[in-house]
Amino acid sequence: MAEATVRAVNATGVAIDWERAELNAEIIARSGQVLPSHVIDSLESTRTGLKGPVTTPIAGGFPSVNVALRKRLDLYANVRPVRGLPGLKTRFDDVTIDMIIFRENTEDLYSGLEHEVVKDVVTSLKVITRTASLRIAHQAFKYAKTNGRHKVTAVHKANIMKLADGLFLRCCREVAELYPQIEYQELIVDNASMQLVIRPESFDILLLPNLYGDIVSDLAAGLVGGLGVVPGANIGERHAVFEAVHGSAPDIAGKGIANPTALMLSAVMMLTHLREKGAADRLLAAIEAVYAEKKHLTADVGGAAGTNEFTGAVVSKLQG
3-state secondary structure of 278: helix
Q: Give the Cα separation of 234 and 159 in Å (integer).
A: 29
State the catalytic residue, choosing from 76, 214, 300, 317: 214
Q: Give the Cα separation of 78 and 176 in Å (integer).
A: 19
Name 312's Cβ contacts closer than 8 Å, sequence gap at least 6: 296
Quick count: other Cβ atoms within 10 Å of Cβ 250? 11
Q: Give the Cα separation of 100 and 204 in Å (integer).
A: 6
Confidence band for 56, pLDDT divided at 50, 70 and 90: low
Query: Does the active-site annotation cover 94?
Result: no
State the catalytic residue, choosing from 108, 157, 165, 317: 157
Quick count: other Cβ atoms within 10 Å of Cβ 146? 8
Q: Give the Cα separation of 273 and 80 in Å (integer).
A: 14
State the catalytic residue, choosing from 145, 162, 190, 255: 190
For the chain, the 3-state helix, strand and coil shares in percent, each to the nearest 5, are 45, 20, 35
Query: Does the active-site annotation cover 110?
Result: yes
- C-alpha distances (whole Å) from 285 to each of 232, 292, 316 are 18, 10, 12
Give the per-residue pLDDT at 63: 67
pLDDT (tens digit per residue) in 198-239:
999 999 999 999 999 999 999 999 999 999 999 999 999 999
58 pLDDT above the threshold of 60: no
Query: Does the active-site annotation cover 157?
Result: yes
Cα 299 to the chain's mean position, in Å?
22
3-state secondary structure of 106: coil
Give the per-residue pLDDT at 133: 98
N- to C-terminal Cα separation, the chain:
22
Under 8 Å between Cβ of 110 and 210: yes
Query: Does the active-site annotation cover 212?
Result: no
Q: Give the Cα separation of 128 and 166 in Å (integer).
A: 9
State the catalytic residue, choosing from 76, 110, 212, 291: 110
Give 185's strand partners. Answer: 153
Give the per-residue pLDDT at 33: 85
